[in-house]
Structure 1
Amino acid sequence: MLINKKLALILAITLAVQTGGSFICSQKVEATNQSSSITKTTRQTAVTVEKQNASKVDKKNKIKDSSYKFNFTNKSKNGYTSVPGVTIYNDSTGYGFVNKTNAFPARDVHTSQIVSTSNGFQITEPSFQVDASDPKNNYNNYGMDFRIKAPAGAYKVHVKTTSDTKDTTVAISGMNTSRLLKGGSWDMAGLVPIKNIVSAKGNEWTYNYVNGQNYMDIEIEPNNVNVPVGIQEIALEPIAPKKNTDRSIPTIFELGDSTVTSYDFDQAPMSSWGELLNNMFDLKKVNVINYSAGGRSLKNMYFEGRLNDILLTGKEGDYVLVQSGHNDEVTDENVRWGRGATEEQYEAYLRNVFVPAIKSRGMIPVFVTPMSRIKSDAKPGYTYVNSFVKRKFPDIMKKVGADMGVNVLDLNSESVKYYNELGVEGTTAVFMSIEAGETPGKTNEGSYANGHPANKVDGTHYKEALAKQFARIVATEFSKRAKEGNNDAARVVSYMKANVKDAIKSGNWDKVFPEIAKDTVKGEGAYYRNQIEKLIQLGVLSKDANGNFNPKNTITVKQYVAAINKTMKLNKNVLSKYNSSSILTREVMGAILDDAYHSKFSEKPKYMTDYNGKTVVPGDPNYDPNLDSGAKGVMYYPIISYEQLKDTSSISAQYVDKIKDAYNLGLIRSENGIARGKMQDGNLFEPAVQVTREKAAKTLYFMWVMSNDVNDLDDLSHINHAR
């Protein structure tokens, strides 16, 4: 019986050669599985026959790709399988047309309208399906979909159509071709270039794609009604994983949403753990590259090619940290290019796409559960709980990780613990709770300068003071997995800085974060924690011998001048006339700010001009629904004019002109009647009020942001590196 099976195998291979065809994927896998039981002579015969049949062999990797070549014309082509008519896909043959794509959710396509011509198979669609409320993101032009059984791994995909590119869109397994036809960068700072794009010329399409499912869909979609489109041939050429050489160091790739991405100064003080995680590592031992972007979910990380680019760029032994959940909560799961996912879709992306695709490249997936959002209007004494109650994505991530042997870093649970350690005052302060005069940065709706344009405390996004704590948690979670015996996590820990490893072991992070003051973490003292920590980090302000900042103490004129000179890198002579040891008042501070501004800037910075009235709208690649309240074009300049202030008559005559100018420039604003989470200005200037250290920190931080280019990364490690 065994001999008969061997003979049948040889005859099948020989027949494939004689007919100009080849084995389909399932036959080749079966042949491979049986090869161990075939005699040496028989194996040599089979190999010889396959060599004669193969039109191309990847010489470097010795991978034969003849099983993945299909011809749809009426002329046979050597090395290609001729598709006999409109074959419907079934798993045993391993190829054929389907009625629904393998996207999540699936897209309807057609088979009954496909016609065979001498030039290939064609289809003409008399009408399209379009959602009038969202035509750019939710449409279906139907067309045809040819499915090929192909294991997880990377492939060079070459498609020749019967129609020109202007009439046709070719997509692979639910990818968004419109995003893949252009280059650029994955991040707003332009540090992470898009390396893998679709080449579309005439009627030929080529694209490198990493497959996670056990089959691949080639979608041929018309761009216009009543215009025939079709397929002539498809060829898939396997691409072997990249090796890490002895001289190359591994890379940690970060893939997430706006809570992981890197930020420019134009969005200050917004930050993320992803942009600060590199500070945990010795960058001579490991690279850290952030592919994250705002508004991303598992679905659009996949379909816009972000995951794909990582997998084609990375090498064996590299790590891919995946965090997603916030944008997955958007209830647009049935929109073609939407963000949201049901729990079932979310799990399917992790289990059937992300993990097998990452592992197929010899890379190591790591899940990071998304941090919990906070209740933005929480009152003191409130106990924070996990925000993922409707769609329990963190729980699904843990489940898939356990099932598939993927390390899970539980930032979700640890974030809730940390919020409750800080209390409501401390937690609200480090989220994006913004009041007038706190920052010249902006959000989707416009400038933050008069307070948050959405009139809310943003309970999703956060400041650098919290970002560094989340980075600490991520590093600590790696250490926990290492202690549990996971070798992959242990390797990551080995790349960490010595002081970080010591901090994880001892629980004392003072040497890693020396800028943290003991009295600005909880309660009232935490109100300006983010500004205070940044200014201590910059060496502008300092703590006392006991590690306290004393935020409610006053500051002298001389101390403030020294601080603003450092903050804005001014010539010391510019403010030399302000050489008093007396307590700083608001009117003197206003005059100093005016002189400092005119010394630093010869023209208005972009925070005041170019970024006014500009918003990011749905459909823009940088759009984040979590930042959109519907308010548009909010301006930088004070919403209450200088003339509307009720106490300007009490300003000292020597400072009137400077204060009026500083106020109109938005450098100093009323502190009376403002509140976080509200876009409102006060109507009193209060010129004689003494300035506390925390209020001084507020204005110094504002001027520090203003002094940096809007397109520079706001992470200090990047700034120091650039210098």
Structure 2
Amino acid sequence: MKRTIVITMLIWAGLFVSHAQSLRFDFGKGKAEKGFLKVLPETVFSQELGYGIDLGTKVVANQSVGKAALTDGFLTSNQPFYFSVKLPEGNYNVKVWVGDDQGVSDVAIRAENRRMFVNRLQTGKGKHQLVEFTVNIRDSLIAGSRNKVRLKSREYGYLHWDNKLTLEFNSTQPRINAIEITPNKKAVSVFLAGNSTVVDGAGEPFSAWGQMFPYFFKPGKVAIVNLAESGETLSGFIAARRFAKMLSLMKPGDYALVEFGHNDQKQKGAGVGAFTTYKKDLEYFISEVKKKGGHPVLVTSVQRRRFEQGRIVETLGDYPAAVRQTALEQNVPLIDLNAMSKILFESMGEQPSLLAFAHFPAGAFPGRAEAIADNTHFRPFGAYEVAKLILKGVRDAKLDLAEEIKATEPLFDPTQPDAYDSFYWPESPGRDATKPDGN
């Protein structure tokens, strides 16, 4: 057994050193496809091994072996499970083969902190399907310096600041046959700077538009790099070196979308305000992104859910107007999320829009005896709808990025929101209902 582990680690080391190669994993019982490492229920992730079933989740393997080596076996579970691979930061193309020679499969696939890539994929009895997507992983180190991002204490437990790619397999009958992971240095990176309305939310039921955004883009073409964090202001984003991290990763042709305002409006002090300090920070953001050959895109603050007589009441003061003015003066693209989200939430209606935000009765989540009534932070459905508004903004601004939106993704009309029941989201583990910072 020890000899087997040593041989496996040597194989892994060879693949890991040759970063340009693909890493390939064959799941379940049956023959291992040539060039693939076998993954069984007992293949548990460790830093030494470099890959395996992770975060204490349990899986079982197929009982009946199929015909083709690549898809003759699978791993599955009646609960969401995780598979991690130790990797350096970067963008990666991921291929996942799903299906069952003897039965059906039903899977949702997410990565890192609940980033949605496959909303739901169902295969019929005896059928298999290959799905592909492009994912970014990162660490807190800032290349070219000795500095790191100043993480908040809770961020050390997040899945998006470590040294591995973590995939979550969810839904009722996930049947995972094989995985291939390949570095992608050509994809356009789309960096997201923002607060809790943008962040990759770590735990149910809170979510934000940034973690839904990767779902909409063609595999191999675009990688979403979400550097947003709950509670941040634009000035705080810069001070915590999150912006320095972004610039250290940016290459010519990449995009940088910036949406703040919710927390910035609470900052106090002489001269602090939307048309002073905030506008100055936006101009600095634009200038530095352009120096790197990137494309800055300004995004106005998404509306809070505050209704009066059936209409959304503006709660963000002068901050949306300051963003609009800066975009005009600096001649950079604008996504007016503030205006679009007003239309969206009003079209939903005062009561139905509760289903877009984190409103839940007392006792709905472990450790949270009181009711949740949050009119700033979204549940997954609301985050998905707002992500569609950002997508509409990309198209309306005629960004080249719009060419990389999946051809199957229709135009979105905020006056015609999706029905709540049409959105599929089996909950991820981690239902702690910890409220994000900020409001």
Q: TM-score range by the shorter chain?
A: 0.5 to 0.7
Q: Give distance in 2, aligned partners of 1:324 and 1:465.
A: 21
Asked if residue 624 in structure 1 is aligned to residue 413 in structure 2, the reply is: no
Tell me the number of residue pairs that the alignment of Structure 1 and Structure 2 aligns: 279
Q: Give distance in 2, aligned partners of 1:289 and 1:385.
A: 32
Q: Give distance in 1, aligned partners of 2:208 and 2:364.
A: 19
Map Cα deviations across residues 681-716 of structure 1 (whole Å, 9 max, x no partner). Answer: xxxxxxxxxxxxxxxxxxxxxxxxxxxxxxxxxxxx
The 1:264/1:383 distance shift into structure 2, 3 A limit, reads: same
Partner-residue secondary structure (3-state), 1:499: coil
Q: How does 1:463-612 map to 2 (within 5 A)?
A: 463-482=379-398, 489=399, 491-500=400-409, 503-504=410-411, 521=419, 529=420, 532-533=421-422, 536=424
Q: Tell me how far 1:472 sits from its aligned partner.
A: 0.7
Q: Which amino acid aligns with 2:215?
A: N
* Alignment gaps of 5+ in structure 1: 1-153, 159-176, 195-244, 441-446, 483-488, 522-528, 539-566, 569-604, 617-622, 627-723
Counterpart selection for 2:233 from 286, 297, 310: 297
TM-score in terms of structure 2 length: 0.56
Counterpart selection for 2:278 from 346, 351, 356: 346
Q: Tell me how far 1:284 sits from its aligned partner.
A: 1.4
Check whether the contact 2:300–2:323 (CA below 8 A) recurs between aligned residues: yes
Q: Tell me how far 1:374 sits from its aligned partner.
A: 2.0
Check whether the contact 1:333–1:342 (CA below 8 A) recurs between aligned residues: no
Q: Which amino acid aligns with 2:263?
A: N
TM-score in terms of structure 1 length: 0.35
Higher strand proportion: 2
Question: What is the aligned partner in structure 1 of residue 290 from structure 2?
Answer: 359
Q: Give distance in 2, aligned partners of 1:187 and 1:319.
A: 27
Q: Give distance in 2, aligned partners of 1:280 and 1:255.
A: 18
Q: Give distance in 2, aligned partners of 1:424 and 1:185.
A: 33
Question: What is the aligned partner in structure 2 of residue 189 from structure 1?
Answer: 158
The 1:464/1:180 distance shift into structure 2, 3 A limit, reads: closer
Q: How does 1:82-231 map to 2 (within 5 A)?
A: 189-192=158-161
Check whether the contact 1:185–1:191 (CA below 8 A) recurs between aligned residues: no
Q: Which structure has more RCO (C-alpha within 8 Å, separation ≥ 6)?
A: 2
Partner-residue secondary structure (3-state), 2:190: strand
Check whether the contact 1:269–1:464 (CA below 8 A) recurs between aligned residues: yes
Check whether the contact 2:232–2:438 (CA below 8 A) recurs between aligned residues: no
Q: Give distance in 2, aligned partners of 1:181 and 1:467.
A: 26
Check whether the contact 1:184–1:193 (CA below 8 A) recurs between aligned residues: no
Question: What is the aligned partner in structure 1 of residue 21 from structure 2?
Answer: none
Q: Which amino acid aligns with 1:424?
A: E
Q: Which amino acid aligns with 2:370?
A: N
Q: Which amino acid aligns with 1:191?
A: H
Check whether the contact 1:433–1:458 (CA below 8 A) recurs between aligned residues: yes
* Alignment gaps of 5+ in structure 2: 1-141, 164-182
Question: What is the aligned partner in structure 1 of residue 374 from structure 2?
Answer: 458
Q: CA RMSD in A?
A: 3.7
Asked if residue 262 in structure 1 is aligned to residue 200 in structure 2, the reply is: yes
Check whether the contact 2:355–2:381 (CA below 8 A) recurs between aligned residues: no
Check whether the contact 1:384–1:416 (CA below 8 A) recurs between aligned residues: yes
Q: Give distance in 1, aligned partners of 2:430 and 2:339.
A: 40
Q: Tell me how far 1:357 sits from its aligned partner.
A: 0.8
Q: Tell me how far 1:180 sits from its aligned partner.
A: 5.3
Q: Tell me how far 1:370 sits from its aligned partner.
A: 0.9
Counterpart selection for 1:276 from 212, 218, 238: 212
Structure index of larger Rg = 1
Question: What is the aligned partner in structure 1 of residue 346 from structure 2?
Answer: 420
Higher helix proportion: 1
Q: Tell me how far 1:359 sits from its aligned partner.
A: 0.7
Counterpart selection for 2:304 from 357, 373, 379: 373
Q: Give distance in 2, aligned partners of 1:365 and 1:272.
A: 21
Check whether the contact 1:186–1:193 (CA below 8 A) recurs between aligned residues: no
Indicate the percent of aligned positions where both proteins have the same amino acid.
22
Partner-residue secondary structure (3-state), 2:313: coil
Question: What is the aligned partner in structure 1 of residue 114 from structure 2?
Answer: none
Question: What is the aligned partner in structure 1 of residue 313 from structure 2?
Answer: 385
Q: Give distance in 1, aligned partners of 2:389 and 2:207.
A: 15
Question: What is the aligned partner in structure 1 of residue 20 from structure 2?
Answer: none
